[in-house]
Amino acid sequence: MDDASSSGRAFASLQGKLKLPVRGELAGKFGTPRAEGMTWKGVFIRTAAGQAARAVADGRVVYADWLRGFGNMLIVDHGGGYMTVYGGGEALMKSTGDKVRAGDTVATTGASGGGSDNGLYFEIRHLGRPLNPMSWAQS
């Protein structure tokens, strides 16, 4: 069994058990319309600026840079085609190639994505397809 498939199975087993990366007000909800006519492919959690955003599971950072429309963005590969996206933060605390453990601070919240609200944009993807983060979160 290779590491990618075993870690992917490990991530899949976390559905319904993940802690969201930050605490705050759910201001943008998966699948609902956005102002520019598209739909949310993740969630936007409104917070005070500078709060720690934590990795939801173990993995490796595959992207950590500024991206138009997202601001400071970090992507963690959890294996098995599962990835999490953390966007709009004030600062990135990890770099491409870094290993992360669940609970590690990966970014701080902010408004680098161009929006007026401080917070964090968060996605879960499997094989490139967005999944509803709230169906993965602890109830």
Q: How confident is the model at residue 7 (pLDDT cuts 50, 70, 90)?
A: low
pTM: 0.90
Tell me which residue of 69, 49, 42, 71 sits closest to 117, measured CA to CA: 49
Whole-Å CA distances, 31 to 37, 42, 44, 55, 82: 12, 8, 12, 23, 19
Identity of residue 66: W
The residue that leads in pLDDT, 1 or 51, is 51
CATH number of domain containing 27 = 2.70.70.10
pLDDT digits (tens, 9 = 90+) for 42-51: 999 999 999 9
Give the domain range for residue 35.
2-135
Domain tally for the chain?
Answer: 1
SS3 63: strand
pLDDT digits (tens, 9 = 90+) for 22-56: 999 998 777 677 777 777 789 999 999 999 999 99
